């Protein structure tokens, strides 16, 4: 990629790199600032002073899909279902935190995360492991997809208390949206993410 002119700050130069090279297919980008303050970028670091600057999105997506596949299999869930839940919960954003405190891709509440032994809810692997386990628990408990999804969203006690999907607009819309993506993902696996 060559050298960057001195005087550009890292974030500004990063923005310029993204504008000049919008394609995600570049691979990981590494950055190094030499003794003269010149910033160097490369996709092939030549020494250990280069640090990861920009991770290739395509690689991140395939890593996330691999994690989803592994835990969907472990907890006997459809990959399409796990992807649909993640799409509705966080749109695949691993660092999202809701107003209510739910965290990560599968939006685990702190208490639920602790119960599932999720140590870092913002870590995609830890979050997806916990979220798929919790989804499996809800399916086993309620034996019905709509009720399991409602329990995932509003909590199992709310579903038990109302004897069905709670009369919360957010929960009812949640169930509809997840099932819409589930149908889409069953038909076209390539539409994940």
Averages of pLDDT over runs of 10 residues in the chain (193 residues) are: 45 50 56 88 81 67 93 98 97 92 97 97 97 98 98 98 98 98 90 69
Listing DSSP states for 54-87 in one string gives E--HHHHHHHHHHHHHHHHHHTT--HHHHHHHHH
pLDDT of res. 192: 72
Tokens at 141, concatenated: 């408990």
Q: Do residues 103 and 110 touch, judged by C-beta distance below 8 A? A: yes
0.85 surpassed by pTM: no
In 3D space, the residue among 82, 137, 79, 93 whose CA is nearest the CA of residue 112 turns out to be: 137
Q: Where are the domains of the chain?
A: 10-55, 58-191
Q: Do residues 150 and 166 touch, judged by C-beta distance below 8 A? A: yes
pLDDT of res. 57: 57
CATH of domain 58-191: 1.10.530.10
- Of the residues 60, 63, 89, 170, only one is catalytic, namely 89
Q: Is 169 a catalytic residue?
A: no
Spacing of C-alpha 176 from chain mean position: 20
């Amino acid at each position: 990629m060559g050298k960057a002119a001195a005087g550009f700050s890292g974030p500004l130069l990063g923005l310029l790199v993204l504008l000049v090279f919008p394609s995600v297919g570049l691979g990981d980008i590494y950055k190094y600032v030499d003794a003269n303050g010149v910033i160097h970028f490369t996709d092939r670091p030549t020494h250990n002073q280069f640090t990861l600057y920009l991770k290739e999105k395509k690689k991140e997506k395939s890593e996330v899909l691999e994690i989803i596949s592994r835990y969907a299999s472990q907890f006997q869930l459809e990959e399409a279902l796990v992807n649909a839940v993640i799409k509705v919960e966080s749109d695949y954003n691993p660092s999202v935190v809701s107003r209510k405190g739910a965290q990560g891709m599968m939006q685990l509440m702190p208490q639920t995360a602790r119960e599932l032994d999720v140590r870092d809810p913002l870590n995609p692997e830890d979050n997806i492991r916990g979220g798929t386990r919790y989804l499996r628990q809800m399916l086993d408990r309620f034996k019905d997809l709509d009720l399991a999804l409602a329990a995932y969203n509003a909590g199992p006690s709310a579903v038990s208390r109302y004897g069905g999907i709670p009369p919360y607009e957010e929960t009812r819309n949640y169930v509809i949206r997840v099932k819409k993506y589930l149908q889409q993902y069953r038909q076209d696996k390539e539409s994940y993410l």
